[in-house]
Amino acid sequence: MRAVIQRVTEASCKVDGQITGNISTGFLVLLGIEDADGKEDLDWLAQKIVGLRVFSDENGLMNKALTDVDGNILLISQFTLFAATKKGNRPGFNRAAKPEIAIPLYEQMILKLSALLNKKVETGIFGADMKISLLNDGPVTILIDTKNKE
């Protein structure tokens, strides 16, 4: 799994002009899933996301996690995070998981993050043409790949 995590003051997702997810302070998480991913990747990544200490403390240092600031998550599925770009100019997406693998893992990630935060996780719609709006705070953008844990 790959995640692009952006610290935001607000973020939203629209599908066909309708808002499907909307948050204030927290993380916009773009999540890519590949065929090799499983429950271990999901559990590790969810813990990592919720535990990231990138919110400012009283001294202006990035020392607080989502739960410390009552933060929210907008989780968006994004197969393009596994784009292969070595050859030519048209990316290939062979490493991205097919929907029959990706959808259950995406849904499990929603449940896991919700349980860790003890609140609802906002989402887009898997496979839809989504329009994402965000106000990146910092900017702070973190990339995490579960195949690179060390």
Cα 53 to Cα 21: distance, rounded to the nearest angstrom: 23
Domains of the chain: 2-145 (3.50.80.10)
3-state secondary structure of 67: helix
Q: What is the mean pLDDT of the chain?
A: 95
Q: Cis check for the bond before 139: say yes or no (omega within 30 of 0).
A: yes
- Proportion of the chain above pLDDT 90, given as a percent: 90
pTM, entire model: 0.95
Catalytic residue among 20, 25, 67, 80: 80
Residue 80 annotated in active site: yes
> Residue 150: pLDDT above 80?
no
Query: Could you report the per-residue pLDDT of 66-124, keeping only the tens digit for each?
Result: 999 999 999 999 999 998 888 889 998 888 999 999 999 999 999 999 999 999 999 99
